[in-house]
Amino acid sequence: MSVLFHRRLPPDQPPPCRNSIVHGKRTPLYGLAWVCSPHQLSKNLGGVPTGRGKHRDVISAQWKGPFSYELSPSAVFGMDGNYYLVAEWNEPHPGHTSEAIIEAARKAVGVDKDVTLEATLQWYRFPLTWLVQEEREKEKLALKGMEKFTKPTPWCNLDNLAASVCTVLKYNEPPEARKLVIGRWLYVFKAEAPKIYLEYYISKTQSTYLIGETGHPSCSKKHAAIHTRRNLTRALFANIALAVSS
């Protein structure tokens, strides 16, 4: 079954205008965007931190030309940890040519200072929720042909060291492995008391097979426990909450 609206399209193959009817379906929102890391964006904008919307102020200040601010580029943070610098959307722009808007956006977001970003310029389908699904699809492909680690390792049978706030993960391939919630922080610490935190990870996927790979501290008897915590979240007009679960 062919895909009607692809996740990505080449820059020279723009999608139809938004809400246009194609084979009985409405065309979703697309954005022609460059992709870069927060560090790259901060560097290209002169060292401005990307937090708290300060980068948006700089982009608006650098937006010049015979265009309204409604056409200014947008910096959208994706679920893959990158910024999508949208030069234009698949919306009609009366009185302006697409090339002129793209060139003005290139200067506003600092892409003209980093030519390596030109290779990332594509039409991306919004919202970017499909990035998570794409990551899972890559995992499934990576698992094909890999050796199955079903043999118990020495640390599989260790007891839960911290009751409800600690989980000892068994080193098995999915779907047998315990699935982590995307976005949790993983803390690896020594099994002896007092607990000494060694390092942390940000779980971008739900597979656990990479945690226990050969040579990792979690494979030994002394470094057996993995502490899972959710990220800090702040609700509107509410205090910061930290949910912890096993």
- Domain range spanning residue 88? 8-128
Whether the pLDDT of residue 92 is over 60: the answer is yes
CA 50, 54, 55, 56 dihedral sign is positive
Whether the pLDDT of residue 9 is over 90: the answer is yes
Whether the pLDDT of residue 76 is over 60: the answer is yes
pLDDT of residue 31: 93
**Is 135 part of a structural domain of the chain?**
no
Q: Could you give the percent of the chain with pLDDT greater than 90?
A: 16
Q: What is the pLDDT of residues 133-151, one digit of tens each?
A: 887 777 666 555 444 433 4
Alpha carbons within 13 A on the beta-carbon side of 63: 19
Do 100 and 152 fall into the same domain? Answer: no
Whether the pLDDT of residue 164 is over 60: the answer is no
197-202 and 83-89 strand pairing = unpaired
pLDDT of residue 139: 66
Tally of domains within the chain:
2
Question: Is residue 150 within 8 Å of 62, Cβ to Cβ?
Answer: no
**Is 163 part of a structural domain of the chain?**
yes
Whether the pLDDT of residue 7 is over 70: the answer is yes
Do 108 and 151 fall into the same domain? Answer: no
Question: Is residue 212 within 8 Å of 218, Cβ to Cβ?
Answer: yes
The CA distance from 202 to 213, in Å, is 16
Do 124 and 192 fall into the same domain? Answer: no
Do 54 and 162 fall into the same domain? Answer: no
Look over the chain and give the mean of its residue pLDDT values, rounded to a whole number: 66
**Is 30 part of a structural domain of the chain?**
yes
Name 147's Cβ contacts closer than 8 Å, sequence gap at least 6. none
**Is 113 part of a structural domain of the chain?**
yes
State the pTM of this model: 0.58
Q: What is the pLDDT of residues 165-215, one digit of tens each?
A: 333 343 333 343 444 444 444 444 444 444 444 443 344 433 333 333 334
The better pLDDT of the pair 237, 84 is held by 84
Do 38 and 113 fall into the same domain? Answer: yes
Do 68 and 124 fall into the same domain? Answer: yes
pLDDT of residue 80: 81
